[in-house]
Structure 1
Amino acid sequence: MTTSTSPRPLRLVAATAAQRRVARTLAMEPGGPPTLRARIANQVIRAVMKTAWQCAPDSEAGMTRIQRATDVLGRLQAVPPGVSTAPQDLGACTAEWVRAGTPDERRVVLYLHGGAYFFGSPRLYRPFNWRLSAATGRPVLALDYRLAPRHTPADALEDALTAYDFLLCRGYRPQDVVVAGDSAGGHLTLALLLTLKKRGTALPAAAVCLSPWVDLYCEADSHRLNRRTDHLLPADKLAWLGRLYCRDKDDDDPVFSPRRGDLSGLPPLMFMASGSEILRDDARDVAERARAAGVHAVYQEWDGLTHVFPVFAEFVPEGRAAFRHIAEFLRAAGA
């Protein structure tokens, strides 16, 4: 007697296959070759975003042109069901709360977006911030700090200090706060930590820096070696901005160059970068300096990806996997 088995419903087979793809994506580790989707995204980012930046003049008018284009892009960003956003007034600047699901309200992430200090906003970063909230199980306070050309990185640092003080006044303990940022926001994250340490304020539990622009002077070797392989950042444009921001500043000012600052006493730090971007050595070098200063520092280098690839997680599978690594780092660091 034979027993026939009914084939699994097509919908169930499709769901199982999708679950396997998601599992493979989340299990990705640094060190492997970039995925096909990442390579396609690299080319689109290079053709559209890098080209637009390269074509903009080195002037306030050029900065404003990029600002307006990214503001339009920001207005197109949406969040999926189950994600909420709410504005937060901080006085001289504003911020946005982003919550995915029902996060632990006793803990929080202060996020400092990238954009070379002259473009970017919490609205532009909504697809990133809701994923960060989901991965960490915390609400995210995304800071809308003041931007060049009307303002300076010093103004952005003042806004970051305001946001951190606001969280402490709201009842969050320093050990329940994580500060994170990408690119210029990664620089701002380190500048914030150094300034908090200098003024004697209790430091957050940990910090995460994604492709941080650690040295505004752009002196690291990768600014020269990776200028052709970086899919997003034009090296000459970034160097021009660095000279503009650092004009009349002391060379050893740790606020304008955290790579030169005293990193001892900082909380656990995580750095993530692409091996092909111009800011690779910024992240690599500061991680080494942090370890030498006795700080627990984790450095991850992913091959062949775009600058701040987790920000492009919608299109880059490795970007989605990065959130798992961030969450694992925070758990291991006791944050």
Structure 2
Amino acid sequence: MCTATHDFCLAPVPVTRREFAGASPQSRALAHTLRRTIRPFLDKWARYPDLPWPTGVVDLFGYSLGPVRGTQRRPIRLPHCHAEWIRPPGEVADRAILYLHGGAFLCCGINSHRQMVSRIAAASQASTLNVAYRMIPQNPIRAAVEDGVDGYKWLLSQGYTADRIVIAGDSAGGFLTFMVTLEAVHQGLPRPAANVALSPLTDLDPAHKLAHPNADLCAVFPRRAVGALTTLIERADTRGGHGPSSSPVDGLLAPMPPALIQTGSQEMVYVDAELMSERLSLAGVPCELQVWERQVHVFQAAAGLLPEGTRAIREICEFIRKATDTPGRPTSAHPPVLGGAG
């Protein structure tokens, strides 16, 4: 029996914490490059966040990052946004992933994340719905949550059972991974099999992040960017008289499924990953927290170039397969028959 305050349980489940030591020459080179390119750029953006920055360009650049060989994709239309359905090569198990991309709720999309998402789909043998949810500043975070829930409903409508669906995402998409699951359960939908969050933002309050030593160590995000993003989120959320968004770490977490959280040891959002794992533990929810030494934000996107990224994808896919393979239940080689794209 859990209490209402952060859903603390009488018998919390200990967090399974795994440390992955070492940083390859490739990962050190990537961190060095990001620290001298992306980090200064984000610091400049944070000085003038209200300028009409071309945030959509980031996703356009993603066209050059094609899917891994053998995967198939087609467009899907959800009620308020579009999505992309990625089918892995070969015989596909009747499991599915709902994927929510990162990008600070502000940029990135299907194109920028297609390669990583298709890599996860292929390695886990899970067809994957990559959702291009509505973003700030035009829309509040609650719109993105609604789009994620619509994606989950779409998977259920296609014949996938909840115990064969994993909700996953990176960075801001990690935030949405937990919030979409909470909202789906709140609406009376069946609980998914698991959550997977890569370098997730889980707490909209910037205080803990800025007080942590990683605020000066992160290779991607400068201090100033945290405050600027917080302001943009608050404006988008309160426009139209609505209240501010809540954070997953403050949710009633007892109904949540098991979770895998991966984070780099020097990331700005390391403290968010750690706090979320602690809150899940206190709510009695099994959680594995993987801490990868000196890896940059969403280093998994560089799988194929970084050995750590490749290994992290393997860990993710093993977790997904275990979470969706119910003991004693035969795994069909034929996935549910999908309806039209409209």
Q: Into which bin does the TM-score normalised by the smaller protein fall? A: 0.7 to 0.9
Q: Which residue of 2 aligns with 1:181?
A: 169
Deviation at 1:324, TM superposition (A): 1.2
Tell me, yes or no, if the aligned pair for 1:222 and 1:277 is still in contact at 8 Å: no
Inter-partner Cα distance in structure 1 for 2:91 and 2:111 = 20
Contact 1:83–1:101 (8 Å) recurs in 2: yes
214, 218, 221: which is aligned to 2:206?
Answer: 218
Structure-1 residue corresponding to 2:146: 158
Per-residue CA deviations over 1:250-295 (Å, capped at 9, x if unaligned) read xxx8952111111102111111101101111111111111111111
Residue matched to 1:14 = none
Task: Give the whole-Å Cα distance in 1 for the aligned partners of 2:75 and 2:282.
Answer: 40
Larger radius of gyration: 1
Q: Distance in 2 between matches of 1:168 and 1:238?
A: 36
Correspondence for 1:310? 300
Asked if structure 2 preserves the Cα contact closer than 8 Å seen for 1:41 and 1:315, the reply is no
What residue is the counterpart of 2:99 in the other structure? 111
- Tell me by how many angstroms 1:46 deviates: 2.1
Tell whether the 8 Å contact from 1:246 to 1:256 is kept in structure 2 after alignment. Answer: no
Other-structure match for 2:255: 265
One of 154, 158, 181 as aligned partner of 1:193? 181
Give 4+ residue runs of structure 1 displaced > 6 Å after superposition: none
Aligned partner of 1:205 among 184, 193, 196 = 193
Give the Cα separation in 1 of the matches to 2:36 and 2:57. 15
Q: Please name the residue that 1:319 is paired with.
A: 309
Residue type of the alignment partner of 2:25: L
Change (3 A) 1:313 1:30: farther
What count of residue pairs does the alignment treat as equivalent? 302
Unaligned runs of 5+ in 2: 1-17, 326-342
CA-CA distance at 1:233 after TM superposition: 1.7
Query: Matched residue of 1:59: which SS?
Result: coil
Partner of 1:278: 268
Residues 1:155 and 1:221: Cα distance change in structure 2 (over 3 Å): closer
Q: Which has the higher contact order (CA 8 A, sep 6+)?
A: 2
Cα offsets for 1:300-326 (capped at 9, x unmatched): 001111011101224321011011111
After superposition, where does 1:245-264 map in structure 2 within 5 Å? 245-246=233-234, 256-264=246-254
1:45 CA drift (Å): 2.0
CA separation of 1:192/1:68 partners in 2, compared to 1, >3 Å: closer, same or farther? closer
Show CA shifts across 1:223-267 (max 9, x none): 641122111122321232123323576xxx895211111110211
SS in 1 for 2:215: coil
Q: CA shift at 1:61, angstroms? A: 2.6
- Which deviations, in whole Å up to 9, do the C-alpha atoms of 1:56-105 show, x marking residues without a partner? 2443435x33x143133112222343122211111310001122312525
Counterparts of 1:264 and 1:50 in 2: how far apart (Å)? 37
Which residue number in structure 2 is paired with residue 11 of structure 1? none
> In 2, Cα distance between the equivalents of 1:81 and 1:259?
38
Tell me the C-alpha RMSD between the 2 structures: 2.0
CA distance in 2, matches of 1:293, 1:191: 16
Q: If the length of structure 1 is used for normalisation, what is the TM-score? A: 0.84
CA offsets 1:175-225 (integer angstroms, 9 cap, x no match): 111000011000001111111222221111001011110011123256641
Conserved in 2, the CA contact under 8 Å of 1:194 and 1:255?
no
Contact 1:94 1:144 in 2 (8 A): yes
CA contact (8 A) 1:107 1:172 kept: yes
- Give the fraction of aligned pairs with identical amino acids, expressed as a percent: 31
Q: Can you give the 5+ residue segments of structure 1 that lack an aligned partner in the other structure?
A: 1-28
Paired residue secondary structure (1:39) = helix
Cα distance in 2 for residues equivalent to 1:284 and 1:226: 13
